[in-house]
C-alpha cells in the first residue's frame, strides 16, 4: 500500500494523506494550506489530489486546516462519502460555509481591483458556497469505538482525540494480499487536562505505522495549571487601569474554553464585578450552540455542571454581537471589558478592529491563548514586534502582552510522548506530520532515544510504500514539490536595485529642489519598510 502526503508535511496546515490500497483510494483529511503565499498556492494546485479517483474521505475533525479543501474536491468531481463524528458534521458545516463565503468575497474584491486596473479576465473563487453545501450532503456520521468498512479490505475505527468537540484519531486496518497493515492517524491530539474535552483515548489495536501530529514537538506548555490565574491577572491588569482585555481566539473550541474559564473565575469570585464580556464573532456564537447541543461529548466535570442545572458556557455580563454595528459599538464604549474575537492568529476577522483600537494603549491587555503560526500578526506580537501593520495602518504595540500556554488544544511534547508510550512496540514506525521542522527534529530524536523506534518526517508530496516488516520505500516528487526560496538570489536582486538607485541619483544635486525633496521622501519611506522587515526578523 501507498501513502502520499498532500499537506501538513514539515508544516502545520493542509493536512491530507492519500492512501492507496489493493481495493481503494481514499484520503485522511483534506485541509486548507495556510500561512504564506507560497504555501497557499497549493490550494489551487489540487489536481495532484485526483479527487475523482478518491473513493471516500475520513475526516478527523472540523478545523479548516483539516477540512478546508473538501469543497474544492467537489469541484474536481469527488463523488464519495465523507465520514466524521456527529459533532464534526455540525461544526464542519458551519466552518465550510464560512470559508466559502470568505473565498467568494476575496475573489470579488480581487476582481473589482483588477477591473479598476483595466484587467478583464476575472479570477475564480477557490470554491463557492454551493460547492461547500454540496459537501454537507456527503457527510456520514460515525461513532467513537464502532468500527466500519467503507471499502472492501479497509476497516476504520474513530476514537476520541480530545482536541476539539468531536475530534478523532483513526485506527485503520488494511487487508491486502492476505496481509494486515495497521495504521494510526493521530489527527490533532488534545491535552489531557484541557477544559471541556476528555483526555485522548487509548488506541485499542497494535500499531505498525503511526502518523502523528507534532505541533508542540519541541516544547511543553508552561504553567498549565495556573492558566486560569494568569487569565485573571491579565484581566485585572487592564480593568484596574480602565482598559480592555482583548482575547484573539479561534471560534471553535478556544472561545468556548475561554468562556468556561470565565464561568469558573466568576464562580471563584476572581472576575471584576459587573465587567461586560463580549463574544464578537458570529461563528463563535454558532459554534457555542453546537457545543451545547453535543454536551454528551464534553468531559465529566462539564457534564456535572450541566446536570446540576448550570450553563458552563455562560456568565453574567455576557453579550454576543452578531452584526458589525454592535461590534463597532464595543470600541466606542469607555471602560473595562473583555472581548473574545476571531481569528485566533489575528490575520482575519473582527479581531483586527479590536487590535487597532487597543494594541497601542498601555492600559490594555492582549491575551494569546493559542498557537501562532510563523508570519501571522499574532506571532509577530508575541515575538516582540514594536509595531504591527493592521488594516493598512502601522499600530504601535504598547498594550501588555500575555501568552497563556495552558489553553492549547494540542498536546505538549511530554504529553505526546506519554500517549505513544501507551502503545509503542519495537515494530512501530513513526511518521511525524503537522509540525514545523524544528519541532519535528526534536520530537523525532526523543522518540528514537526513548522508544528505539524508526521515525521520519516526510516532505510535501512524498510517497511512502509500506509493508510491515520491511523498510518503507520513499519516493519524493521533486518536480511537483515547490522549491526552497533562493535567498541569495533574492537579496542579490535587492542589492542590484540599490546599485541602480545610486546610479540614477548621481545627478541628484542638479535636480530641482522640490523634486529632490520628493525623492528623499520616497527613500525615507523605503528605509522605513526596511526597518519594519528587519525588526520583524
Ligand atoms: Zn485541529
Ligand atoms: Zn490541525
Mean pLDDT of 429-439: 96
Domains 2-219+409-475 and 224-407 share a fold: no
Beta bridge partners of 140: 83
User: Ligand 2 centre and the CA of 67: distance in Å?
Assistant: 10
Q: What's the confidence (pLDDT) of residue 105? A: 93
Q: What's the confidence (pLDDT) of residue 296? A: 92
Q: What's the confidence (pLDDT) of residue 464? A: 96
Burial class (CB in 10 A: 0-12, 13-18, 19+), 157: buried
521 compared with 139, residue with greater pLDDT = 139
Neighbours of ion ligand 1 (CB under 5 A): 63, 188
Return the closest-CA partner of residue 305 out of 317, 292, 316: 292
CA 475 to mean position of chain CA atoms: 28
Q: What is the largest CA-CA distance in the chain?
A: 86
Mean pLDDT of 366-376: 87
Q: What's the confidence (pLDDT) of residue 479? A: 55
Return the closest-CA partner of residue 345 out of 39, 94, 35, 64: 35
| Out of 183-187, 396-400, 518-522, least confident range | 518-522
User: Ligand 1 centre and the CA of 505: distance in Å?
Assistant: 53
Q: How many CB atoms lie within 10 A of CB 422?
A: 10
Q: What's the confidence (pLDDT) of residue 183? A: 98
Kind of pairing between the strands at 81-85 and 139-142: parallel
Written as one string, the DSSP assignment of 316-383 is TTEEE--SHHHHHHHHHS-S-EEEEES-TTSSSSTHHHHHHHHTT-TT-EEEE-S---TTSHHHHHHT
Query: Any idea which residue has 475533525 for its cell?
Result: 61
Burial class (CB in 10 A: 0-12, 13-18, 19+), 101: middle
Buried b (16+ CB within 10 A) or exposed e, 195-212: bbbbbbbebebebbbbbb
* Secondary structure letter of residue 510 according to DSSP: G
Nearest ligand to the CA atom of 61:
1
Nearest ligand to the CA atom of 31:
2
Nearest ligand to the CA atom of 163:
1
User: Ligand 1 centre and the CA of 218: distance in Å?
Assistant: 18
Q: How many helices (H) and strands (E) does the chain have?
A: 16, 23
Is the N-terminal amide bond of 343 cis, ω within 30° of 0? yes
Cα distance between residue 94 and residue 147, in whole Å = 27
* Secondary structure letter of residue 211 according to DSSP: E
Is the domain defined by 2-219+409-475 classed in CATH 3.40.190.10? no
Mean pLDDT of 425-453: 96
Q: What's the confidence (pLDDT) of residue 478? A: 61
User: Ligand 1 centre and the CA of 237: distance in Å?
Assistant: 31
Q: What's the confidence (pLDDT) of residue 318? A: 93
Cα distance between residue 304 and residue 418, in whole Å = 28
Q: Which residues contact 137 (CB under 8 A, 6 or more apart)?
A: none
Determine the 3-state secondary structure of 82 from DSSP. strand
The three grid cell numbers given for residue 20, joined into one nine-digit string: 492507496
Given a cut of 90, whether residue 214 has pLDDT beyond it is: yes
Sign for the CA dihedral angle at 232, 235, 236, 237 comes to: positive
Sign for the CA dihedral angle at 261, 265, 266, 272 comes to: negative
User: Residues 195-204: pLDDT tens digits?
Assistant: 999 999 999 9
Q: What's the confidence (pLDDT) of residue 223? A: 76
User: Ligand 2 centre and the CA of 112: distance in Å?
Assistant: 33
304 compared with 483, residue with greater pLDDT = 304
Cα distance between residue 476 and residue 463, in whole Å = 6
Nearest ligand to the CA atom of 197:
1
Given a cut of 60, whether residue 480 has pLDDT beyond it is: no
Q: Over the chain, what is the mean pLDDT? A: 93
User: Residues 483-530: pLDDT tens digits?
Assistant: 567 788 888 888 888 988 998 898 888 888 888 988 998 899 899 888
Show the CA angle centred on residue 10, arms to residues 8 and 16, nearest 5°.
20
User: Ligand 2 centre and the CA of 294: distance in Å?
Assistant: 21
Q: How confident is the model at residue 405 (pLDDT cuts 50, 70, 90)?
A: confident
User: Ligand 1 centre and the CA of 13: distance in Å?
Assistant: 9
User: Ligand 2 centre and the CA of 220: distance in Å?
Assistant: 18
Given a cut of 60, whether residue 390 has pLDDT beyond it is: yes
User: Ligand 1 centre and the CA of 163: distance in Å?
Assistant: 7
Kind of pairing between the strands at 318-320 and 277-280: parallel
Nearest ligand to the CA atom of 167:
1
Given a cut of 90, whether residue 3 has pLDDT beyond it is: yes
Q: What's the confidence (pLDDT) of residue 124? A: 94
User: Ligand 2 centre and the CA of 246: distance in Å?
Assistant: 24
Query: Could you tell me the pTM of the whole model?
Result: 0.84
User: Ligand 1 centre and the CA of 460: distance in Å?
Assistant: 19
Q: What's the confidence (pLDDT) of residue 484? A: 66
Beta bridge partners of 210: 184, 430
User: Residues 61-100: pLDDT tens digits?
Assistant: 999 999 999 999 999 999 999 999 999 999 999 999 999 9
Q: What's the confidence (pLDDT) of residue 482? A: 53
Percent of the chain, pLDDT > 70? 99
User: Ligand 1 centre and the CA of 320: distance in Å?
Assistant: 24
User: Ligand 1 centre and the CA of 164: distance in Å?
Assistant: 7
Buried b (16+ CB within 10 A) or exposed e, 20-41: ebeebbbbbbbbbbbbeeebee
User: Ligand 2 centre and the CA of 62: distance in Å?
Assistant: 9
Is the domain defined by 224-407 classed in CATH 3.40.50.10890? yes
User: Ligand 1 centre and the CA of 333: distance in Å?
Assistant: 34
User: Ligand 2 centre and the CA of 156: distance in Å?
Assistant: 20
User: Ligand 1 centre and the CA of 332: distance in Å?
Assistant: 34
User: Ligand 2 centre and the CA of 391: distance in Å?
Assistant: 27
Where do the structural domains in the chain lie, given as residue ranges?
2-219+409-475, 224-407, 490-535
**From start to end of 348-494, where are the E strands?**
365-368, 387-390, 393-396, 400-403, 429-433, 454-456, 463-465, 473-475
Mean pLDDT of 13-28: 96
User: Residues 163-177: pLDDT tens digits?
Assistant: 999 999 999 999 998
Query: Any idea which residue has 518503507 for its cell?
Result: 472
**From start to end of 458-497, where are the E strands?**
463-465, 473-475
Amino acid at each position: 500500500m501507498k501513502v502520499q502526503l498532500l499537506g501538513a508535511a514539515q508544516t502545520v496546515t493542509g493536512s491530507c494523506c492519500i492512501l492507496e490500497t489493493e481495493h481503494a483510494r481514499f484520503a485522511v483529511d483534506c485541509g486548507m494550506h495556510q500561512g504564506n503565499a507560497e504555501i497557499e498556492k497549493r490550494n489551487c494546485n489540487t489536481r495532484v489530489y485526483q479527487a475523482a479517483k478518491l473513493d471516500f474521505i475520513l475526516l478527523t475533525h472540523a478545523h479548516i486546516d483539516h477540512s478546508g479543501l473538501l469543497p474544492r474536491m467537489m469541484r474536481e468531481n469527488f463523488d464519495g462519502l465523507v465520514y466524521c463524528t456527529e459533532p464534526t458534521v455540525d461544526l464542519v458545516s458551519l466552518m465550510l460555509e464560512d470559508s466559502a463565503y470568505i473565498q467568494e468575497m476575496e475573489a470579488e474584491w480581487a476582481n473589482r481591483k483588477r477591473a479598476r486596473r483595466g484587467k478583464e479576465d476575472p479570477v475564480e473563487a477557490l470554491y463557492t458556497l454551493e460547492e461547500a453545501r454540496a459537501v454537507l450532503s456527503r457527510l456520514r456520521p460515525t461513532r467513537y469505538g464502532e468500527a466500519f468498512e467503507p471499502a472492501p479490505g479497509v476497516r476504520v475505527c474513530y476514537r476520541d482525540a480530545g482536541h476539539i468537540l468531536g475530534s478523532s484519531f483513526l485506527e485503520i486496518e488494511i487487508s491486502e494480499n492476505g496481509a494486515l497493515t495497521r495504521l494510526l492517524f493521530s489527527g490533532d491530539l488534545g491535552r489531557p487536562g484541557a477544559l471541556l474535552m476528555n483526555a485522548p483515548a487509548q488506541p485499542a489495536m497494535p500499531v505498525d505505522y503511526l502518523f502523528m501530529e507534532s505541533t508542540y514537538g519541541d516544547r511543553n506548555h508552561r504553567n498549565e495549571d495556573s492558566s486560569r490565574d494568569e487569565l485573571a491577572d491579565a484581566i485585572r491588569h487592564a480593568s484596574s487601569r480602565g482598559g480592555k482585555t482583548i482575547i484573539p481566539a479561534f471560534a471553535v473550541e478556544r472561545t468556548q474554553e475561554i468562556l468556561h474559564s470565565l464561568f469558573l473565575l466568576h464562580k471563584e469570585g476572581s472576575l471584576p464585578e459587573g465587567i461586560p464580556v463580549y463574544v464578537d464573532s458570529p461563528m463563535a456564537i454558532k459554534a457555542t450552540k453546537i457545543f451545547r447541543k453535543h454536551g454528551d461529548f464534553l468531559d465529566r466535570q462539564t457534564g456535572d455542571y450541566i446536570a446540576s442545572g448550570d450553563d458552563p458556557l455562560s456568565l453574567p455580563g455576557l453579550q454576543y454581537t452578531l452584526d458589525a454595528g454592535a461590534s463597532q459599538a464595543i470600541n466606542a464604549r469607555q471602560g473595562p471589558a473583555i472581548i473574545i474575537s476571531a481569528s485566533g492568529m489575528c490575520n482575519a476577522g473582527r479581531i483586527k478592529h479590536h487590535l487597532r483600537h487597543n494594541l497601542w494603549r498601555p492600559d490594555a491587555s492582549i491575551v494569546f491563548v493559542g498557537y501562532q503560526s510563523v508570519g501571522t500578526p499574532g506571532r509577530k506580537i508575541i515575538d516582540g514586534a514594536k509595531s504591527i501593520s493592521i488594516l493598512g495602518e502601522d499600530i504601535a504595540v504598547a498594550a501588555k502582552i500575555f501568552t497563556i500556554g495552558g489553553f492549547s488544544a494540542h498536546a505538549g511534547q511530554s504529553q505526546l510522548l506519554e500517549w505513544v508510550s501507551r502503545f509503542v512496540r519495537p515494530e512501530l514506525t513513526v511518521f511525524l506530520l503537522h509540525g514545523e521542522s524544528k519541532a519535528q527534529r526534536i520530537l523525532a530524536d526523543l522518540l528514537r532515544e526513548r522508544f528505539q523506534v524508526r521515525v521520519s518526517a516526510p516532505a510535501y508530496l512524498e510517497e511512502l510504500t509500506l509493508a510491515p516488516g520491511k523498510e518503507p520505500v520513499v519516493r519524493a516528487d521533486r518536480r511537483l514539490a515547490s522549491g526552497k526560496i533562493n535567498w541569495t538570489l533574492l537579496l542579490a536582486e535587492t542589492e542590484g536595485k540599490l546599485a541602480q538607485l545610486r546610479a540614477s541619483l548621481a545627478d541628484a544635486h542638479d535636480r530641482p529642489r522640490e523634486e529632490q525633496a520628493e525623492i528623499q521622501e520616497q527613500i525615507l519611506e523605503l528605509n522605513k519598510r526596511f526597518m519594519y522587515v528587519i525588526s520583524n526578523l
